[in-house]
Structure formats: C-alpha cells, structure tokens
Amino acid sequence: MNAVTTHPLTLHKPAPRALPSGPWTRQAVLALMAQPFMQLVQQAHAVHRAQFPQGDIELASLLSVKTGGCPEDCSYCPQSVHYDTGVDASKLMAPDAVLAAARAAQAAGATRFCMGAAWRSPTDRDIAKVAELVAGVRALGLQTCATLGMLAPAQARTLAEAGLDYYNHNLDSAPDFYPQIVGTRVYDERLATLQNVRDAGVKVCCGGIIGMGETREQRAGLIAELASLQPAPESVPVNNLVRVPGTPLADSPPVDPFEMVRMVAVARITMPRARVRLSAGRRELGDGIQALCFMSGANSIFYGDKLLVTGNPDVDADRALLQRLDLPVTGAST
C-alpha cells in the first residue's frame, strides 16, 4: 500500500460537537462526584454488582510496538519529540518479537493484548504491518487492542478485517482543559477517530488522565463527554498522571488519591456496562486505594512489566493483591 500523504481525518470530519446531553451532563456528573465519599462508593458498588455479579477482574497487557519519536506535543507524554525524556525512537517491532511478548502475556494470565505505537497518524503501510500483528495475536486466542494515533475510515476497516477487537484513543480531558495539554491536535480530531473506529465495527476503549492541573469540574466534564458517546465506550481507562522528568507536567502536584476513587465511581455509575480499567499511575496509588477503586467499580487492570514506557506493578504483586482481596481473575470480555 502507498503511504497516506494527506491528514487522515480530512476524510471523515466530525459533526459540530454539542455539549453533552442526556442524563449525564457535566453538572449532573459534578453533583454525583460531590456526594459524600462513602455514599458515592456504595452507590457505585451497587451498580457494579448489578452489572458484573461475578466481580471478576480482567487482565490486559500493553506492549509498545513502536516507541518514541511522536510529533505530538501532549504535555504528559515521554514519547514526544518535543521533550527530552531519555526515550529513544524505535522502529516497529518485528512480528516474531510481538508474538513472543503476546505469548508471555497470555502465559501470565492476560486475556487482552494491546499494541501501542507512537504515531500521530499512521500511514497505510504502517496499518498493513499492524494488521499482520493483530491477526497473529488474535490467532493465539487473545483479545486484540491497538492504540496508534488518529485513524482514517479505511484504516479502521483494515484493522477490523484483521480481527481487531478494541481500539484505544483517549479523550484525555474535558474539552475546555484540553488546549492546555495538547497543541498539535484538536478535540474534534479525537472524536473523529472514535467515530471511524465505531463505523468499522471495532469496540472503543476511551478514557482520560487526572492530575494534570484540571479542576474537579473539568474531571466531571471528561466523564460527561465519555458517557455521552453513542454508544459509551466498552472500556474506560482511568489514568493517574505519571510525572515523567522532561515533560511539562513533571512537577505537577500529585492528585489526592481519593479523587481517583471518585473518578472510578462516577465512571461506573455513568457507564455501567463498561470495563473500567485502572491504568497508568496505578503503582503510586498503593494497595489500599486500589482496593477502594475495585470496590467502586474498577474491573480491569493493565498487567505486566511496562505500561508503554512507564513502570507498572509486576505480575506477582498484582496476583498477590487480587488474592488478598478475594477477587477472581476470569478475564471475561465485555
């Protein structure tokens, strides 16, 4: 295939975006989030038990198949070419190496394998190579997920035909805070990729990050945006900012860990059927806060040695924590 030379999202522009409507407006989510902490946790837990009576935790593994060299300027990301973080750019991994990593993740108990590549928008040639990886991982019996940047409609269809189950493309933040953390793309471009993925028949994995300097109201705005997607994402990663030296957010003050619990709880209540995933920054939360997150509706974790290029709790520690909490690991799909 020939490389794409035009901006891929010129092929499918989103309709003008209205403010979130329906039951979960920003103010409705903010009111939910402002409830007394224990009341909110109890409400979220009731919703969670109704939707996921088995209480199982899905284990997902994430491999960076193409690291660094990204032209985007996302303020939180160590893979951006705009920041000196010590992350060197690499080429796309060979299929044998990716499949070896997928087999290792599967042997460790993961049931979903996500492949991440530091691109703004992949070329058609890139997509053809990733489609080969998707087909290979799917053949192992794993659920497949990819996060590759912005996709054109035909690119999303190519990945769907290869067997891609999920595509991850986070909104990151509420739209009014977004320009403070990203300057190389606009919010509607993210929404366009999500629509392209939906139109191709691929499930959506979409969430955001807390701790970047946003207000609680803006956190509520992020949840309102996610819950207003039609349909809502099947997977919702909730990330706690990992402050990487060299990035503009390296010196950001840590967020109150109970705010992470509140985010998980409101994600569960507003998107009851989604897998709510504890993602980046889980190491910093500690076992007690993670337990509260599970109580509040988190039922998926990224599992393994690395979450792209930042540390992740190791496999043995994760297994031990889940056993201490008597949480079954079944990896049931959504």
At 21 the pLDDT is 57
293 belongs to the catalytic site: no
Measured CA to CA, the distance from residue 47 to residue 122 in angstroms comes to 39
- Show pLDDT as tens, one digit a residue, over the chain (334 residues): 333 333 344 434 455 555 565 689 999 999 999 999 999 999 999 999 999 999 999 999 999 998 887 888 888 888 888 887 778 778 899 999 999 999 988 988 889 999 998 888 899 999 999 999 999 999 999 999 999 999 999 999 999 999 999 999 999 999 999 999 999 989 999 999 999 999 999 999 999 999 999 999 999 999 999 999 999 999 999 999 998 899 999 999 999 999 999 999 999 999 999 999 998 888 889 999 999 999 999 999 987 655 444 444 577 888 889 999 999 986 534 4
At 313 the pLDDT is 53
Residues 26, 74, 243, 275: which is the catalytic one? 74
At 5 the pLDDT is 34
Residues 112, 190, 243, 277: which is the catalytic one? 277
205 belongs to the catalytic site: yes
At 282 the pLDDT is 85
Residues 70, 185, 219, 282: which is the catalytic one? 70
At 331 the pLDDT is 53
At 20 the pLDDT is 62
DSSP of 39-70, one letter per residue? Answer: HHHHHHHHHHHHH-TT---EEEEEEEEE-S-B
Q: What is the 3-state secondary structure (H, E, C) of 97-146?
A: HHHHHHHHHHHCCCCEEEEEECCCCCCHHHHHHHHHHHHHHHHCCCEEEE
Measured CA to CA, the distance from residue 201 to residue 189 in angstroms comes to 19
Residues 77, 157, 190, 293: which is the catalytic one? 77
Residues 205, 262, 268, 275: which is the catalytic one? 205
Domain 58-324 classified CATH 2.60.40.10? no
At 9 the pLDDT is 44
74 belongs to the catalytic site: yes
- pTM assigned to the model: 0.88
206 belongs to the catalytic site: no
Q: How far is CA 233 from CA 179, 203, 271, 309, in A?
A: 23, 7, 8, 25
At 2 the pLDDT is 37
